[in-house]
Amino acid sequence: MSEKHLAVIVLAAGEGTRMKSAKPKVMHEMAGLPLLGHVLATASALGAAHVVPVIRHQRDHIEEYIRAFFPTANPIDQDDIPGTGRAVECGLAGLPNDFNGAVVVTSGDVPLLEVSTLDALLEAHLEGGFGVTVLSSIAEDATGYGRIVRDSSGSFTQIVEHRDATDEQLDIDEVNAGVYVFDSTLLRNALGQLGQHNAQGEKYLTDVVTIALSEGSTVQALAVEDSWQVAGINDRVQLSELSAELNSRICEAWMKAGVTIQDPASTWIDVTVELGRDVTLLPGTILKGTTSIGEGSTIGPEVLMTDTVVGAGASVVKSHVTGSRIGDEATVGPYSFLRPGTDLGADGKIGTFVETKNAKIGAGSKVPHLSYVGDAEIGVASNIGAGTIFANYDGINKHRSTIGSHVRTGSHNVFVAPITIGDGAYTAAGTVVRKDVEAGDLAMNVAPQRNIADWVLAKRPGSAAALAAEEAKN
C-alpha cells in the first residue's frame, strides 16, 4: 500500500513497575538500543506516513530520545484514562483528521517483531478486505494470555481473556500477541463505544474486536511461526532472555555473512555494529555502539569495544577500546586501554599495559609497553620506550606533546607537556624531557653515577646480601 495510507501506533505509556527501575521500561537497552528504539526502527522501516508513539510515564525522557533519533515520529501523551484502548484512542488523535488508511498497533516492549512479519500481516489484511487482523502466536504456556477462539472451520470468532475462559478454552494454545491491523474508520467508531465497565476500570483494545464482529466486520487472526517475535518484556528476567535470543540471531546473521565467531554464547554484538568479511571474533568479545571492524581483522579474546573504527587486518587482544580509530594491520594489546580520541595509524602498535587518550599515533609507530600517552601526536615510524609517561596535566590545564617521525625514546622517559621532539631525535633512558628537542638531537639528563664502596657490608651486616658480597670479595 502507499505510504500515505499507513499509520503505526506504538503503545509506550506504561510505567513498567515490574522492572523495579527509575528508568521507564521502554528505555531499557537491548543490543545497543532502547526497547522503544527497536520498535520504532521497525515501524519506520514499514514506510508509514505516520508513526505515533503513545507515551506517559517519564514522558520528557522518552520524548527527548524520540526527537533525537526518530524525528519524523509524532509522540502523543496518554491522559489519565487507563487502558490500551484509550492509548490507541490518544494515538489516533495524532493522525490527520482525514486519514483513512490502515492502522498498525504494536507495543514498545515487543522488540523482536520483524518488518517482514508486519508486511505479511498488512498484505493479508488488505488483500482480504478485513476490518481487523490480529497477530497471534502459539504459546508453550498460555497462562495469562487471551485465547484465540476459532470455529470448526478454523475462522476467528473471538478473543477470550484468561480469567474469563472456560476449561475448554484454557486448553487453547493460540494466544493474542497484542499486535493488530485496523481499518481506521472502523477503529475510530469502535473506540468511541468503549466503556470502562470492567474490574480494572480500563478501556480494553480487545473490545474493539468484539464491537467489529457485532457490527458485521470481518476479523482474522494470523499466527506468527516465530513466537520470539511477539515476546514482550515485563521484568529484567525477560529482558535478559530476549537479549540473549536477539544476540544469538545477530551472531548467526554475521556468521552467515562471512564472519567467524568462535563462541557465540560469549560474544555480544549490538545491532548498530558493522563487520567486514573474514573478521574473526574470539571468545569474550563485546562490540557496542557504532563500532565498525574492517575485513580480515581479529578481535579478542576478551575485548570490550565501543564506538570504534578498526581497519582491515588489525588485531585487538584483551583490551578496552572506546571512541578510537585503529588503522589497517595495526595491533593493540593485550591489556591496553584506548580512551576516546585515540587514533592509531596503519601498522602501528599499542602494546601491553598502555593507556592512550586524545592521542594520534602515526603509521608504523609503536607504544609497546607500560606507558601513558595523553594529549599527544606521534609521527610515523617512531618508537616510544617502555614506561614512558606523557605528563599532560599541570593541575589546572591540559597540554599537548608533539613527537616527530622516526623518533626513538628511551625507557622510563617523562615528557612534560607542552613539548616538541623533532624528527629523528633520540632520548636517553630515564630522561625527564622538559625542553623541546631539535631534529636529530639526543636528549638526556646528565647525572654521574656514584658507587659507595662496601655500603651493604656497613649498613646491612649479617644480611644475605652482605654474606654474598663478602663471599664474592674473598
Burial label, 22 (beta-carbon count in 10 A; 0-12, 13-18, 19+): exposed
Which residues are CB-neighbours of 225 under 8 A, at least 6 positions away? none
* 465 part of a folded domain: no
Q: In this structure, are 322 and 209 located in the same domain?
A: no
Residues annotated as part of the active site: 369
Q: Which residues contact 451 (CB under 8 A, 6 or more apart)?
A: none
Q: Are residues 177 and 248 in the same domain?
A: no
The values of phi and psi at residue 23, to 5°, are -95, 140
Same domain as 250, residue 204: no
Total residues found in the chain within this entry = 474
CA distance 241 to 247: 10
Domain range holding 45?
A: 3-230
Give CA–CA dist 186/341, Å, rounded: 56
- In the prediction, which pLDDT does 161 show? 86
Distances (CA, A) of 164 to 51, 161, 170, 191, 429: 34, 5, 9, 22, 83
- What are the backbone angles phi and psi of residue 91, rounded to the nearest 5°? -65, -40
DSSP code for 393: B
Strand, helix or coil at 69?
helix
221 and 242 part of one domain = no
Flag whether 473 is in a domain. no
297/376 same-domain check: yes
CA 432 – CA 434 distance, rounded (Å):
6
Tell me how many degrees the CA angle 180-202-168 measures, rounded to the nearest 5: 65
Do 301 and 418 lie in one domain? The reply is yes
455 domain residue, yes or no: no
Inside any domain, residue 458: no
Cα of first residue to Cα of last residue in the chain, in angstroms, is: 101
Q: What are the percentages of helix, strand and coil residues in the chain, rounded to 5?
A: 25, 30, 45
Residue 467 domain-assigned (yes or no): no
CATH assignment at residue 205: 3.90.550.10
Number of domains forming the structure of the chain: 2
CATH number where 278 lies: 2.160.10.10
Helix (H) or strand (E) holding 305: strand 304-306
Instruction: Answer yes or no: do 208 and 295 share one domain.
Output: no
Task: Determine if the pTM surpasses 0.85.
Answer: yes
Tell me the average confidence (pLDDT) per consecutive run of 10 residues in the chain, 474 residues long: 77 93 96 98 94 95 97 94 92 92 96 97 95 95 92 92 90 95 95 76 87 94 96 96 98 98 98 98 98 98 98 98 98 98 98 98 98 98 98 94 98 97 96 97 91 94 95 90
Check whether residue 324 and residue 396 sit in a common domain: yes
Q: Residue 195: what pLDDT?
A: 76
Cβ-proximal residues to 59 (8 Å cutoff; 6+ apart), any chain: 75, 77
186, 212, 230: which is the final residue of a domain?
230
At which residue does the C-alpha cell 522503544 appear? Answer: 36
**pLDDT, position 1:** 46
